[in-house]
A and B are shown apart, each in its own frame.
Chain A
Amino acid sequence: MSHDATIPATGAEPDWQRLHPATLALAIADLGPRSLQFLPAVAALGFTGNWIWIVPAVGAFLLISLLAAWFQWLRFRFLVGEDEIVIESGVFSRQHRTIPFDRIQDVSIEQGLVSRALGIAKVGFETGAGGKENDANLDAIALGAAQALRTTIRAHRSGEAVASPAATADAAPAAPAAEDRLLFAMGPRRLLVAGLFNFSLAALAVVGAAMQFFDNLLPFDFNMFNPMDWIDLAERYGLGDWVYAHRWIAGIGAALSLLLIGFASGIATMVFANWDFRLTREPRALRRTRGLTTRTDVAVPVRRVQAAILVTGWFRRRFGWHELRLQSLASDGEKERDHQVVPFGKLGEIDPVLAEVAIARPDPGQVWQHSHRIVALGPVIGAICATIGGGVALWLGNAVGWLGIGAAPLIALIAFWAARFHQWADLGEQVAIRRGWWKPKTTLLPHASVQSVDLKTDFLQRPLGLATLVFGVPGGSSLASHEIPAIPFGAADDLRTRILAARARR
């Protein structure tokens, strides 16, 4: 990073580039969702009777938005130098950012539906600097230029001679290097199976709420979750008496539509997210491309992987299906904090991926230690509260109270039974933590990833001689709290000593 290379002489105008002009079209497409923010203002105008002003107000809003997007585009420029990328942005307050290629862990390419139609892509630079605002991105440049830029940065990182540093859009497809190996892929057939297991009634809540909301607006009065409506429908076709005699038909109709919605939403979310899923091994990273409408291209640097999480479900587990996520320093996109590298696969397919990140799955014969049953305390207290609440309701003469009293023993029993599924094992180089029976998760945490260890006790665990171990691990995961609850104090102390003796992973 010599200075004469970073700041070119003023005589030779450096090769500044702008974002692709189609980015403006993207901004227009973006206006759709954004104008929703404007709805309250429109409503306010409507309620106060100023109907005349609505059209000019919306017009002004659109105009200002477009002007802002235009200015932003005008004031954004970037420069691909010998060994760094320089980005200048900001309309009023200028921001000048220099990212050396050495510091770029990897380059991600993301294309939404509109971007794909326009042939442009959003390029994200992963610097591992933590925090969303620290990650730079180019939103958006031509796809060819994006791939060329990534090839340039990769080549620089591999220490090869950089032939032509500028991201010339010669549309040379990023030639897959010889050492790139396909680790895992999902075809349509696998997606369908995965979608069937992805059965979810979450969409049902949305549909149900929408039906409630639009109930009065719909031209027909039919709620398909209401068996009475099915009876009404049958009556209209003269089947009323027959259906009334076989009331269960109506129930089956409602149940069938429930199932249909559950499966359809499961398959749809799976197909949209994971269409043409490919996981390849590159020299430094695992690279994942997926998506039907929004295609993403993300790389997880192998050396930055901190832990692996195996997730399954109580039902899909019987068929041997599992999901693998890797916890890395960088977060996956905007929402997820860990990287889904195998959304749905057999253990035989997951093992090679785990081998790439030097994490081993415990043997089937592994002896697991159990957490103490005190971990069920929370639900049991909940059950006691439910009993008390139910009792109070009954005392006040409300029959709903039986629900609480009936549910309480069930909750307590399930909690006690589920406590057995809190297990852990020390595999020498890594700790394995299992929890959950409805959605069993196994966290494989290499000792070397642990940054700090908490040994927690409280007034309940101390008399029982128990302690809880909590590990501080870089990069977050929503699924894995790195915690071994309620194990014997001596074992916890011993495990802590052994883990802290491990050397750093990097």
Chain B
Amino acid sequence: MTDTPIAHPTDPFDPDAINAIEGLNPVDPAYTQVLRIATALNLIPLAIGASVFDALLIRHIDGPYGLITVAAWLIAIIVIVTFPSRRVSRWGYRIGEGQLRVARGWLFRTDTIVPFVRVQHIDVGQGPIERWFGLSHLIVHTSGTHNSTVTLPGLHNDLAAAMRETIRRHIQTDFA
């Protein structure tokens, strides 16, 4: 599983380009749906709240009724439809050469490397939405205070388990 060739073109306008240039693997595309549902669960209550506020208060003070409601729902829908795929394309990882590399974000991009020998313990977690899509997230714990946990979401169940085994084998061989 280590050193898998990168399957993405290095076209600068491709959303995967930033990962490809840096030699990173993308996370599972199904993670987009997970993020989308999670975003929807966060934003729809907010939009409902804005609508209620609009109906109860703005109408009473003869304000421009409807403006806030429309804006809130419009923003929520745009964010839910467009943002998750962009966010997912910014996640990248690479496992190999005795280290795990996880990169995320674009406006504020963070590229973390954890050598396997520094790993204290590993979690493979799965939330209810992730389970629906057969995905898991990998959490690597180090003893550093900064970055004491490094999370890599959007991995297929089998892949997450395989990565855990790889890292665990390294921990054992290096401390034996």
Residue ranges of A at the interface with B (Cβ–Cβ < 8 Å): 130, 329, 450-459, 462, 470-476, 481-482, 496, 500, 504
Contact = CB atoms under 8 A, between A and B. Distances in A.
16 contacts: A451-B114, A452-B144, A454-B110, A455-B110, A455-B111, A456-B108, A456-B111, A457-B109, A458-B107, A470-B146, A472-B142, A473-B146, A474-B143, A475-B145, A476-B145, A481-B146
Contacts of B111: 454-457
Pick the most buried of A329, A451, A458, A470: most chain B CB atoms within 10 A of its CB. Answer: A451
Given A455-B111, A476-B145, A500-B115, 15 more contacts: A452-B144, A454-B110, A455-B113, A456-B108, A458-B108, A459-B106, A470-B146, A470-B147, A472-B145, A473-B144, A474-B143, A475-B145, A482-B146, A500-B113, A504-B117
A451 B109 contact: no
Nearest to A481: B146
Interface of B: 99, 106-115, 117-118, 142-148, 150
A458 B147 contact: no
A332 B147 CA distance: 22
B107 A452 contact: no
B24 to A, nearest CB: 12
B146 to A, nearest CB: 5
B144 A472 contact: yes
Nearest to B114: A452
B145 A452 contact: no
B109 A452 contact: no
Contact of A472 (B99, B109, B148): B148
A471 B146 contact: yes
Contact of B144 (A451, A455, A459, A500): A451
A473 B142 CA distance: 9
Pick the most buried of B109, B117, B143, B144: most chain A CB atoms within 10 A of its CB. Answer: B144
Nearest to B111: A455
A452 B117 contact: no
A17 B148 CA distance: 39
Contacts of B99: 500
A452 B112 contact: yes
Contacts of A456: 108-111
A458 B108 CA distance: 4
Contacts of A452: 112-115, 118, 142, 144, 146-147, 150
A474 B143 CA distance: 5
Pick the most buried of A453, A456, A459, A496: most chain B CB atoms within 10 A of its CB. Answer: A453
A494 to B, nearest CB: 13
Contacts of B145: 472-476
